Structure 1
Amino acid sequence: MRRVRAFGALLPLVLLANGCGIQATDVVEVGDPATVDVAPGSQGTLLYFVSSSSANRLMPVVRPFALPVEGDSSGTGHVWRGSDKAIAMLFDGPTQAEADSGLRTELPPIRGALSLTLGPDGVSVRVNTAVTKLSEVARQQLICTAAQARTADRKAAVKVTGTDGVIGPARCSV
């Protein structure tokens, strides 16, 4: 009887030491992480905010907006066209729900005139704030959002004109 108990006590140790026959392997490379293209459609726009969980990494956010009605104002005293509204929403920063999920902005809040146009050289953005001293992450937030809002192509060249000068033309790095 003692022998059976001793064998029963040693059996888990023998199995543990044996590893149940599973052989160790090296790391297997399988490629880059998965990526997803987000397409908001005509009822919304794509804004780029900074992820607090990943240092300076831009995250796309689909933000719905109602198509502007003649005379409709966004509360800033201006009537926004669809693509202009995307830039206005970007400068307003993340919603409370977006902030609670770890998103932030490096852009200053602004009020006043802004425009977003598409020309032969790419997208042009005009804002009523200084732009030349924006961090690289803030610039990318603006460039990626503007390119997506006006052309639905993040790779379009974007030039941003502010009260202190011009940045770009530059392309979205996301």
Structure 2
Amino acid sequence: MRHVRPFALASASLLLAGCGIRGSEVVEAGGPAVADVARQDGMLLFFVGPDGSSIPVVRLADSAPTPAATAKQLAALLHGPTPEEHAAGITTRLPAGSTPVRVEPVPGEKAGSRAGVPKEVRVSVAFAVRPLDAAAVRQLVCTTAHAEDPEGLVEVALTGSDGPLPAATCD
């Protein structure tokens, strides 16, 4: 038994020492990861996380992708996070409450995209869009882009009560 104990101590010390991999900081590698499951089972809404980054949230949906379905998703976005989402640190930078939203796909398709995916979508809201910060604009742009295209590759042109913003993509 005396020979087993030193071996056991040596083994335990090796396990406690780890495998030699050093810790590192978080490495940024692009936009939020978005799973195709949202298109099949729900709608994808983009909110803001505690660090100001975009947070995709999947909610149940009952309709196929159409301008009306996109407007419905934007209305859900404008209602803000659910109490559960808010408790998890998810917030919004958009004005509170439901406002009328109009969605209009621009005729034509983006080069290299799948059939039926518009090149650009125009979104009109009843509030001012120019004073919105980048996170708030990203919420509207990304929610719209992913409602229209599973890959979110649609350009979105926002217009508010104070006029239009330049077309943008979800990046």
In the alignment, which residue of structure 2 is the partner of 1:137?
135
Find the structure with the greater CA-based Rg.
1
Taking structure 1 as reference, are residues 35 and 145 closer, same or farther at Cα in structure 2, changes over 3 Å only? closer
In the alignment, which of 102, 105, 113 is matched to residue 115 of structure 1?
Answer: 102
Relative contact order: is structure 1 or structure 2 higher (C-alpha 8 Å, sep ≥ 6)?
2
Structure 2: how far apart are the matches of 1:146 and 1:122? 10
In the alignment, which of 44, 61, 70 is matched to residue 65 of structure 1?
Answer: 61
Structure 1: how far apart are the matches of 2:128 and 2:73? 19
Q: Gaps (5+ residues) in structure 2?
A: 108-118
Asked if 1:172 corresponds to 2:144, the answer is: no
In the alignment, which of 35, 50, 55 is matched to residue 48 of structure 2?
Answer: 50
4+ aligned runs moved over 4 Å, structure 1 = 19-29, 31-36
Structure 1: how far apart are the matches of 2:149 and 2:76? 17
The letter for the 1-side match of 2:45 is L
Asked if 1:87 corresponds to 2:74, the answer is: yes
TM-score, normalised by the number of residues in structure 2: 0.70
Structure 2: how far apart are the matches of 1:47 and 1:110? 15
TM-score, normalised by the number of residues in structure 1: 0.69
Asked if 1:161 corresponds to 2:148, the answer is: no
Which structure is higher in strand share? 1
- Per-residue CA shift, 1:94-116, capped at 9, x if unaligned? 01111111100000124442111
8 Å CA contact retained: 1:44, 1:64: yes
- Per-residue CA shift, 1:54-92, capped at 9, x if unaligned? x11111111113449xxxxxxxxxxx9311110001111
Q: Gaps (5+ residues) in structure 1?
A: 1-7, 69-79
Taking structure 1 as reference, are residues 26 and 148 closer, same or farther at Cα in structure 2, changes over 3 Å only? closer
The letter for the 1-side match of 2:128 is A
8 Å CA contact retained: 1:146, 1:158: yes
Structure 2: how far apart are the matches of 1:152 and 1:117? 18
8 Å CA contact retained: 1:117, 1:150: no
Taking structure 1 as reference, are residues 66 and 37 closer, same or farther at Cα in structure 2, changes over 3 Å only? closer
Count of residues paired in the alignment: 149
Percent identity among equivalent residues?
A: 29
Structure 1: how far apart are the matches of 2:41 and 2:22? 44
Taking structure 1 as reference, are residues 24 and 48 closer, same or farther at Cα in structure 2, changes over 3 Å only? closer
8 Å CA contact retained: 2:78, 2:99: no
Cα deviation, residue 37, structure 1: 2.2
In the alignment, which residue of structure 2 is the partner of 1:105?
92
